[in-house]
Amino acid sequence: MGLADKVLEGNVQAAARLITGIEDELPGAIQELDILYPHTGRAHIVGITGAPGIGKSTLVDCLIGVFRKRDMTVGVIAVDPTSPFTGGAILGDRIRMQHYGTDKDVFIRSLATRGWSGGLAKAAISTVHVMDAMGKDVILIETVGTGQGEVEIARVADTCLVVLSPGTGDEIQVIKAGIMEIADIFVINKADKPGAENIAMEIEMMLGMKTCPHPSEADWKPGVVLTEAISGRGAEELVEQISKHREFLVCGGGLERRREERAKQELMGAIESFVRSYFHQEIERGGEMEKLIADFVRRKESPHSAAMKIIRQFTSQFRPVTS
């Protein structure tokens, strides 16, 4: 039995091995993913983003609890864009979510990144597919807010939570980083600290001025939920909001639109990685490429004209057969 078949049976070890293969970009893992793909598309994908230390992992822990009470199965992907040498956040996530270490219906996985790049989103999307194929009802993706990266990860999610907390000056950052656009729900965590209500009010005010770029989602007004992840207060309401948002997406066509958007992004990613590795091999192999590179070095070709020649040659090999 192959890895993919075991994953479809919900085998955790097989899923873990497959995800490691995906991270290492092993060709075998990509083939297994191909087998899984028709079995995906059922899970609700929730992105959770916000500044370091804002309480995302603690919140994820609470959310798992609420979903489990509703008899829903959960997958968690903790993305750590910090240096692999610090390792702090990964360890932290493991410790904070260890409540569910023995629950077979909760599958938690950290994705170590080697610098933030498009590759991260690719590994995250593929990991989502694995958990989806395992039959997880909800998949939570925790990511640290670092600007561009979080916008990228937001595209992976059906529902995106932006977590803020009092006393961090986040209110201003929200506008700066264009976070307004990606938030489906705002979470003001650490509501036990003073100032939470004020942030909520500021967000509400900003929401009044927001325009939605997608007509199918223009009717959604992002909710603002106050939570206290250390005690679990607000977690039920947050799950309610998440369900409401899903319902809204399903009924209004937004889910289709988001998934189409994601499919395009995935397709582009697949094309890019194929083309990159193809040309990388070609350059390594030398041959005709070598002459072009030599011309390029001697300034006989510009980068653009050299690239065009190479691409023309490449596309002629892959021209579709017309009958």
Ligand X SMILES: Nc1nc2c(ncn2[C@@H]2O[C@H](COP(=O)(O)OP(=O)(O)OP(=O)(O)O)[C@@H](O)[C@H]2O)c(=O)[nH]1
Using CB under 6 A, list all residues that contact ligand X. 52-58, 89, 92, 96, 144, 189-190, 192-193, 228-230
* C-beta of 89 vs 174, nearer to ligand X: 89
DSSP codes of every residue in 13-82: HHHHHHHHHHHTT-HHHHHHHHHHGGG-S-SEEEEEEESTTSSHHHHHHHHHHHHHHTT--EEEEEEE-S
53 binds, among Mg ion, ligand X, none (CB under 5 to 8 A by kind): ligand X
143 touches which of ligand X, Mg ion, none (CB within 5 to 8 A by kind)?
none
Residue, CB closest to ligand X: 55
Q: What is the DSSP letter of 98?
A: G
Find the shortest distance in angstroms from Cβ 154 to ligand X: 16
Structure tokens at 245: 């948002």
Q: Which residues contact 126 (CB under 8 A, 6 or more apart)?
A: 19, 22, 33
Q: Which residue is nearest to Mg ion (CB)?
A: 57
Which bin fits 224, alpha (ψ -120 to 50), beta or left (φ > 0)?
A: beta
Tell me, rounded to whole angstroms, the distance of Cα 75 from its chain centroid.
Answer: 13
Residues near Mg ion (CB under 5 A) are 56-57, 93
Minimum Å gap between C-beta 93 and Mg ion is 5
Quote the least distance from Cβ 111 to ligand X, whole Å.
13
Cβ distance to Mg ion smaller for residue 57 or 227: 57
Least Å from the CB of residue 92 to Mg ion? 6
Q: How far is the CB of 143 from ligand X (least distance, A)?
A: 9
What number of other Cβ atoms are within 10 A of residue 194's Cβ? 10
- Which amino acid belongs to residue 302? S
Least separation, in Å, of the C-beta of 197 and Mg ion?
Answer: 25
Nearer to ligand X, 57 or 73 (CB): 57
Residues 6+ apart with CB under 8 A from 269: 118, 121, 122, 125
Instruction: Work out the burial of residue 141: count CB atoms within 10 Å of its CB; fewer than 13 is exposed, 13-18 middle, 19 or more buried.
Output: buried
Nearest Cα residue to 112 out of 98, 124, 99: 124
- Taking the complex as a whole, the smallest distance from the CB of residue 14 to Mg ion amounts, in Å, to 26
Other C-beta atoms within 10 Å of 240: how many?
13
By beta-carbon proximity to ligand X, the closer residue of 58 and 73 is: 58
Half-sphere exposure of 241 toward its Cβ, with a 13 Å CA cutoff? Answer: 23
